[in-house]
Amino acid sequence: MATKQNTKKATTKMSATRKLAAKTKGNAKKSTAKKPTAKKSSPKAGDKKMSAINAAAKILAEAKEPLTSKQMIERMATKGYWTSPGGKTPHATLYAAIIREINQKGNESRFQKTDRGHFALSAK
Protein backbone atom coordinates (compact mmCIF):
# COMPACT_ATOMS: atom_id res chain seq x y z
CA MET A 1 0.00 0.00 0.00
CA ALA A 2 2.93 2.34 0.65
CA THR A 3 4.10 1.88 -2.92
CA LYS A 4 0.79 3.11 -4.35
CA GLN A 5 1.00 6.32 -2.31
CA ASN A 6 4.62 6.93 -3.35
CA THR A 7 3.73 6.36 -7.00
CA LYS A 8 0.78 8.73 -6.75
CA LYS A 9 2.96 11.47 -5.19
CA ALA A 10 5.60 11.03 -7.88
CA THR A 11 3.07 11.44 -10.69
CA THR A 12 1.57 14.49 -9.00
CA LYS A 13 5.01 16.10 -8.76
CA MET A 14 5.79 15.31 -12.37
CA SER A 15 2.56 16.76 -13.63
CA ALA A 16 3.17 19.97 -11.63
CA THR A 17 6.66 20.19 -13.12
CA ARG A 18 5.29 19.66 -16.60
CA LYS A 19 2.71 22.39 -16.03
CA LEU A 20 5.40 24.78 -14.90
CA ALA A 21 7.54 23.92 -17.92
CA ALA A 22 4.61 24.52 -20.24
CA LYS A 23 3.92 27.90 -18.66
CA THR A 24 7.57 28.90 -18.89
CA LYS A 25 7.78 27.76 -22.49
CA GLY A 26 4.73 29.85 -23.39
CA ASN A 27 6.19 32.92 -21.68
CA ALA A 28 9.48 32.53 -23.50
CA LYS A 29 7.71 32.89 -26.83
CA LYS A 30 6.01 36.09 -25.70
CA SER A 31 9.24 37.68 -24.45
CA THR A 32 11.14 37.10 -27.70
CA ALA A 33 9.04 39.70 -29.51
CA LYS A 34 11.08 42.78 -30.33
CA LYS A 35 10.16 45.85 -28.36
CA PRO A 36 10.98 49.33 -29.55
CA THR A 37 13.88 50.79 -27.62
CA ALA A 38 14.51 54.43 -26.93
CA LYS A 39 17.80 55.78 -28.15
CA LYS A 40 20.19 56.76 -25.40
CA SER A 41 21.77 60.11 -25.92
CA SER A 42 25.47 60.23 -25.26
CA PRO A 43 26.40 62.64 -22.48
CA LYS A 44 28.23 65.76 -23.56
CA ALA A 45 31.42 66.83 -21.85
CA GLY A 46 29.54 69.36 -19.70
CA ASP A 47 26.81 66.87 -18.75
CA LYS A 48 29.15 64.27 -17.27
CA LYS A 49 28.83 63.81 -13.53
CA MET A 50 31.92 64.26 -11.43
CA SER A 51 33.14 61.28 -9.41
CA ALA A 52 33.35 61.52 -5.63
CA ILE A 53 37.14 61.44 -5.57
CA ASN A 54 37.44 64.16 -8.24
CA ALA A 55 34.91 66.27 -6.35
CA ALA A 56 36.96 65.74 -3.18
CA ALA A 57 40.07 67.04 -4.94
CA LYS A 58 38.13 70.11 -6.06
CA ILE A 59 36.77 70.70 -2.54
CA LEU A 60 40.24 70.40 -1.00
CA ALA A 61 41.61 72.88 -3.54
CA GLU A 62 38.96 75.38 -2.49
CA ALA A 63 39.24 74.66 1.25
CA LYS A 64 42.92 75.52 1.80
CA GLU A 65 42.94 73.38 4.99
CA PRO A 66 42.81 69.62 5.63
CA LEU A 67 39.31 68.13 5.82
CA THR A 68 37.79 64.84 6.94
CA SER A 69 35.88 62.71 4.48
CA LYS A 70 32.58 63.63 6.20
CA GLN A 71 33.32 67.33 5.78
CA MET A 72 34.20 66.78 2.12
CA ILE A 73 30.94 64.88 1.48
CA GLU A 74 28.89 67.65 3.11
CA ARG A 75 30.61 70.38 1.08
CA MET A 76 30.31 68.40 -2.17
CA ALA A 77 26.57 68.06 -1.64
CA THR A 78 26.19 71.74 -0.69
CA LYS A 79 28.05 72.98 -3.76
CA GLY A 80 26.37 70.42 -6.03
CA TYR A 81 29.58 68.75 -7.21
CA TRP A 82 28.52 65.27 -6.18
CA THR A 83 25.68 63.63 -4.24
CA SER A 84 25.47 60.14 -2.89
CA PRO A 85 23.34 57.80 -4.98
CA GLY A 86 21.72 56.55 -1.78
CA GLY A 87 24.51 54.83 0.10
CA LYS A 88 24.50 54.86 3.88
CA THR A 89 28.20 55.64 4.35
CA PRO A 90 29.51 57.69 1.42
CA HIS A 91 32.19 59.20 3.67
CA ALA A 92 33.65 55.73 4.30
CA THR A 93 33.70 55.01 0.58
CA LEU A 94 35.44 58.30 -0.12
CA TYR A 95 37.95 57.68 2.67
CA ALA A 96 38.78 54.26 1.21
CA ALA A 97 39.16 55.69 -2.31
CA ILE A 98 41.54 58.39 -1.12
CA ILE A 99 43.63 55.92 0.90
CA ARG A 100 43.72 53.58 -2.12
CA GLU A 101 44.98 56.37 -4.37
CA ILE A 102 47.67 57.33 -1.85
CA ASN A 103 48.83 53.71 -1.56
CA GLN A 104 48.82 53.00 -5.29
CA LYS A 105 50.30 56.22 -6.63
CA GLY A 106 52.56 57.17 -3.73
CA ASN A 107 54.19 60.55 -4.40
CA GLU A 108 52.12 61.00 -7.58
CA SER A 109 48.85 60.98 -5.61
CA ARG A 110 46.67 64.09 -5.55
CA PHE A 111 46.08 63.65 -1.81
CA GLN A 112 48.18 63.44 1.31
CA LYS A 113 47.16 62.36 4.77
CA THR A 114 47.95 65.17 7.20
CA ASP A 115 46.49 63.80 10.42
CA ARG A 116 44.28 60.96 11.54
CA GLY A 117 41.28 61.10 9.22
CA HIS A 118 42.32 64.43 7.61
CA PHE A 119 43.39 64.90 4.02
CA ALA A 120 44.81 67.75 1.99
CA LEU A 121 45.97 68.16 -1.57
CA SER A 122 49.57 67.11 -2.01
CA ALA A 123 52.08 69.82 -2.74
CA LYS A 124 53.50 68.84 -6.13
What is the chain's pLDDT, residue by residue, as a tens digit (124 residues)?
555 555 555 555 556 666 666 666 655 555 555 555 555 444 455 567 899 999 999 999 999 899 999 999 999 999 999 999 999 999 999 999 999 999 999 999 999 999 999 999 998 7
Residue 45 and residue 33: Cα distance in Å, rounded?
A: 36
Q: Are residues 109 and 98 in contact, defined by beta-carbon separation less than 8 angstroms? A: no
Residue 94 and residue 90: Cα distance in Å, rounded?
A: 6
Q: What is the pTM of this model?
A: 0.62
Give the CATH fold of the 52-121 domain: Arc Repressor Mutant, subunit A (1.10.10)
Helices (H), 1-124: 2-31, 52-63, 69-79, 90-105
